Amino acid sequence: MADLAVADEVGVPELAAEAVLLQALLDWFQARPGGRGPDGGGKG
């Protein structure tokens, strides 16, 4: 239960929101033409 107390101090909603934002940025970069997609390479 000690880990739960530490998580409450940091702010679980803030951590979750940051994780969602980072995932959205990652998805955006991977979707760019020339970004690294599922095939692992870009143009060029």
State whether the Cα torsion 36-37-40-44 is positive or negative: negative
Say what the alpha-carbon torsion angle 36, 37, 40, 43 is, to the nearest 10 degrees.
-60
pLDDT of residue 39: 61
pLDDT of residue 33: 86
pLDDT of residue 40: 59
State whether the Cα torsion 2-4-5-11 is positive or negative: positive
Residue located via tokens 């994780």? 19
Q: Please give the residue that has the higher pLDDT: either 23 or 9.
A: 23
Domain boundaries, the chain: 2-31
pTM: 0.52
List pLDDT tens digits, range 24-43: 999 999 998 876 656 655 55
- The whole-number average pLDDT for the span 5-31 is 86
Q: How far apart are CA 43 and CA 36, in angstroms?
A: 9
pLDDT of residue 25: 96
What's 27's DSSP letter?
A: H
